[in-house]
DNA sequence: TCTCGATATGAAGAAGCATTCATAACGATT
DNA sequence: AATCGTTATGAATGCTTCTTCATATCGAGA
């Protein structure tokens, strides 16, 4: 077999992902939900958050709804109507979740650094 | 808002994934590629491996091809024809990759246990 | 009370990914 | 040389997921 760019392969990166789910895989708390919540903390708006992240409102709304179903508690306090049209505020429990998720990522980030170095040595 | 199964949410699980890619995300070495290689070590057959894993030969073949392009070296030594129709043998570099990947997973597995426990405490 | 913009949600359309189909090349064995 | 099963690969089909569209609800402020 002939490989394209023989010997001049692109830089190889290590990726990882962490997320929560039910056993059936239904309902998820991952990067998307985390990012949405982070943005909503600042903007008090699910719409603004989804726009910022470049994902559809429909998906953002559905994702957070599923996450709430998975966790069994609300992540947002929603308000409809008013001059602004409405707001979505992040609940206290959601704030805790954000912090915990960040700590988790932190832990993984640290581990990844060393693990990847070891990995590269091994495949050399 | 009303949540289904208020208070009786399903058990929440922590999931994670580790994989290699190029910057563009093109070409991947992850669980699928790892599993394929593991099976091919035993069977010397890409077809048998894909059947075992329950994925199409077309995908298995394409995935490993992309992985080879990403890494810049061959993962399989392919033979066509012969009484058996052909064989695919895992190269030495691929063997190293398998080992390294297993060690990587091992490292993460250990870390996940404690990280998740800390996580659960935090969101309580 | 009318308006305006965000939340809420079903439904249809588009995009991405995997399976299936179809077809060719290959070569040790018969 | 004819066969058989695997590798090899494009093309069509199917499935899953996201985006778009369409429509409704809500309520503070004009």
HSE at residue B89, side-chain half, CA atoms within 13 A, is: 5
Q: Of B16-30, B70-84, B85-99, which gets the smallest average pLDDT?
A: B16-30
d(CA B121, CA A28) in angstroms, rounded, equals: 19
- A71 chain-B contacts, CB cut-off 8 A: 9, 12
Chain A, 103-122: which have a CB under 8 Å from a chain B CB? 103-104, 107-108, 111, 115-116, 118-119, 122
A21 with B16: CB under 8 angstroms? no
The residue ranges of chain A whose pLDDT is under 50 are 1-8
CB pairs below 8 Å between A and B: how many? 141
User: Three-state SS across chain A?
Assistant: CCCCCCCCCCCCEEEEEEEEECCCCCCEECHHHHHHHHHHHHHCCHHHHHHHHCCCHHHHHHHHHHHHHHHCCCCEEEEECCCCCEEEEECHHHHHHHHHHHHHHHHHHHHHHHHHHHHHHHCC
Residue B2 has pLDDT above 50, yes or no: no
Residue B9, pLDDT score: 64
Residue B64, pLDDT score: 98
Residue B69, pLDDT score: 95
Task: Give the mean pLDDT of B69-90.
Answer: 97
d(CA B99, CA B76) in angstroms, rounded, equals: 16
B52-78 burial, b if ≥16 CB within 10 A, otherwise e?
beeeeeeebbebbebbbbbbbbbbbee
- pLDDT band at residue B4 using 50, 70 and 90 as cut-offs: very low
Residue B74 has pLDDT above 90, yes or no: yes
Residue B119 has pLDDT above 80, yes or no: yes
Residue with tokens 């992985």: B67
Closest residue by Cα to residue B105 from B15, B18, B13 = B18
A96 with B122: CB under 8 angstroms? yes
**CA-based R_g, chain A, Å:** 19
Q: What is the pLDDT of residues B17-72, one digit of tens each?
A: 999 998 887 889 999 999 999 999 999 999 999 999 999 999 999 999 999 999 99
Q: Which of A31, A78, A86, A115 to mutate to test the interface with B (most CBs of B within 10 A)?
A: A115
Residue B80, pLDDT score: 98
Residue B8, pLDDT score: 41
Q: Which of B72, B91, B121 to mutate to test the interface with A (most CBs of A within 10 A)?
A: B72
d(CA A107, CA B112) in angstroms, rounded, equals: 9
Q: Which positions ≥6 away from A69 have C-beta within 8 Å?
A: A27, B3, B4, B5, B9
- A106 chain-B contacts, CB cut-off 8 A: none
B22 CA – C19 C1', rounded, Å: 26
- pLDDT band at residue B113 using 50, 70 and 90 as cut-offs: confident
d(CA A67, CA A64) in angstroms, rounded, equals: 5
Closest residue by Cα to residue A97 from B122, B117, B13, B114 = B122
DSSP for residue B7: T
């Amino acid at each position: 077999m002939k490989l394209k760019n023989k010997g001049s392969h692109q830089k190889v990166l290590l990726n990882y992902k962490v997320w929560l789910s039910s056993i059936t895989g239904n309902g998820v708390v991952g990067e998307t939900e985390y990012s949405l919540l982070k943005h909503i903390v600042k903007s008090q708006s699910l719409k603004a958050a989804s726009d910022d992240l470049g994902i559809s409102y429909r998906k953002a709304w559905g994702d957070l709804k599923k996450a709430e179903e998975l966790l069994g508690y609300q992540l947002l306090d929603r308000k409809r109507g008013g001059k602004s049209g409405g707001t979505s505020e992040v609940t206290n429990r959601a704030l805790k979740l954000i912090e915990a998720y960040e700590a988790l990522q932190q832990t993984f980030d640290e581990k990844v650094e060393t693990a990847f170095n070891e990995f590269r040595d091994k495949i050399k």
